[in-house]
Amino acid sequence: MALRHGGGALGPAVAFLAVAALLGAVTAGKFDDVVQPSWANDHVVYDGDLLKLRLDANSGGGFVSRNKFLYGKASADLKLVPEDSAGVVTAFYLSSAGDKHNEFDFEFLGNVTGEPYLVQTNLYIDGVGNREQRIDLWFDPTADFHTYAVLWNPSQVVFMVDDTPIRVYENRQNATVRGHHRHANGTTTATGSSPFPGPQPMAVYSSIWNADDWATQGGRVKTDWSHAPFEATFREVRVDGCVWAANATDSDAGEVSRCSGSSWGKEGRYWWKEKEMSELTVHQSHQLVWARAHHLVYDYCVDTDRFPVQPPECAGH
Ligand SMILES: *[C@@H]1O[C@H](CO)[C@@H](O)[C@H](O)[C@H]1NC(C)=O
Ligand SMILES: *[C@@H]1O[C@H](CO)[C@@H](O)[C@H](O)[C@H]1NC(C)=O
Ligand SMILES: *[C@@H]1O[C@H](CO)[C@@H](O)[C@H](O)[C@H]1NC(C)=O
Ligand SMILES: *[C@@H]1O[C@H](CO)[C@@H](O)[C@H](O)[C@H]1NC(C)=O
């Protein structure tokens, strides 16, 4: 699903923007170190210790991290739009730049009052997505703050909800396992090895936008603008990763090796690359099995209508 939002109307009064910017400078401290508005600044609202992304009929809004990272963990303490949020999508995601970009997405698909949100995750690798999975949640994500996180290292990408892994994408580039396409005549053909996102620095983003063409009950339920503005509320955004030098290009070999080199993990500084982070713990594996058994509602890996040929990374699923 496309994450890119189409521009949207720019803010109204310039004077209001100036005042908001001043207030922002006073109250935005803990967010200011980590993120900055990236789309429709007047829809990125600082409210005491909280940061809200607002959607109304004019525009949605978004923010981006100040730094780029290669490997690490990004998380958000987030409370989703309460009550009627049909048609509204809030996203928290990591993305690199360019045509061959990588991207790890959480997309929260709103619903009418009382009906459950769905959480869609997706990965783009070398510019190609189409790896959607959807879960429902074991709590009401509009009632309180919950932590949504992505851990990313050379071995795996892990999506977590309150420290429970809900999805793991492993680096199987060294493994011999291959995807197979079973033909009508009973023979199989290998479909290639499993891709894994290469070492491109990523920024962390969040945005809220109107997606009533597809998001809620397959697009059948539209956004009810009489309930606007719709607001997603952040209590904190954390990014703990290898910060990419601001003066380096995205393909800088020195930065790749500085952030990828295994010797760094031993210092405890780049904890996300240490050996114990290369796979789930036994406890986490059990949590993952539980989450998927009880809450997975869609998995592209088993959608044979969309993928008559099973994607190679799905082998063994
Ligand atoms: C794959 O193999 C290479 C060469 O042995 C090794 O350096 C690398 O760490 C391995 N990658 C993973 C994800 O295991
Ligand atoms: C089975 O079907 C595939 C795809 O049409 C074809 O490439 C393969 O040669 C066939 N094998 C046999 C034994 O008929
Ligand atoms: C919204 O609620 C309906 C009815 O419970 C459910 O089928 C659907 O999966 C929910 N979520 C979305 C995003 O449509
Ligand atoms: C970036 O700046 C640092 C410190 O000034 C310097 O050591 C480094 O070589 C620069 N890197 C690039 C890619 O220009």
Under a CB-based contact definition with an 8 Å cutoff, are residues 48 and 30 in contact? no
**Mean pLDDT value across residues 247-251:** 96
> Can you give the pLDDT at residue 188?
65
Under a CB-based contact definition with an 8 Å cutoff, are residues 177 and 316 in contact? yes
Under a CB-based contact definition with an 8 Å cutoff, are residues 119 and 85 in contact? no
Centre of ligand 3 to C-alpha 225, Å, is 19
Q: Is the pLDDT of residue 17 over 50?
A: no
Q: Is the pLDDT of residue 5 over 50?
A: no
**Closest Cα to atom 11 of ligand 2:** 187
Confidence of residue 315 (pLDDT cuts 50, 70, 90): confident
Tens digits of per-residue pLDDT, 256-279? 998 987 655 555 678 888 888 899
**Closest Cα to atom 9 of ligand 2:** 187
HEC sequence for the chain: CCCCCCCCCCCCCHHHHHHHHHHHHHHCHHHHCCEEEEECHHHEEEECCEEEEEECCCCCEEEEECCCEEEEEEEEEEECCCCCCCCEEEEEEEECCCCCCCEEEEEEECCCCCCCCEEEEEEEECCECCCCEEECCCCCCCCCCEEEEEEECCCEEEEEECCEEEEEEECCCCCCCCCEEECCCCCEEECCCCCCCCCCCEEEEEEEEECCCCCCHHHCCCCCHHHCCEEEEEEEEEEEEEECCCCCCCCCHHHHHHHHCHHHHHHCCCHHHCHHHCCCCHHHHHHHHHHHHHHEEEEHHHCCCCCCCCCHHHCCC
- State the ligand closest to the CA atom of 248: 4
Tens digits of per-residue pLDDT, 178-210? 556 666 767 666 667 899 999 999 999 999 999
Tens digits of per-residue pLDDT, 280-299? 999 999 999 999 999 999 99
Domain 35-314's class? mainly beta
> Can you give the pLDDT at residue 7?
33
Q: Is the pLDDT of residue 252 over 50?
A: yes
> Can you give the pLDDT at residue 184?
72
Angle (CA) 232 233 239, round 5°:
110
Mean pLDDT of the chain: 87
**Mean pLDDT value across residues 17-39:** 64
- State the ligand closest to the CA atom of 189: 2
> Can you give the pLDDT at residue 151?
97
**Mean pLDDT value across residues 25-40:** 78
Under a CB-based contact definition with an 8 Å cutoff, are residues 77 and 233 in contact? no
Confidence of residue 174 (pLDDT cuts 50, 70, 90): confident
Centre of ligand 4 to C-alpha 251, Å, is 14
> Can you give the pLDDT at residue 190?
60
Mutation test residue for ligand 1: of 152, 172, 174, the one with most atoms within 8 Å of CB: 174
Which segment of 147-151, 225-229, 270-274, 290-294 scores lowest on mean pLDDT?
Answer: 270-274
The reply to whether ligand 4 has any atom less than 6 angstroms from the CB of 250 is no
Give dist(CA 259, CA 219) in Å, integer: 42
The residue type of 191 is T
Who has greater pLDDT, 297 or 2? 297
Q: Is the pLDDT of residue 65 over 80?
A: yes
The closest-lying atom of ligand 4 relative to the alpha carbon of residue 246 is: 1
Q: Is the peptide bond before 229 cis (omega within 30 degrees of 0)?
A: yes
> Can you give the pLDDT at residue 230?
98
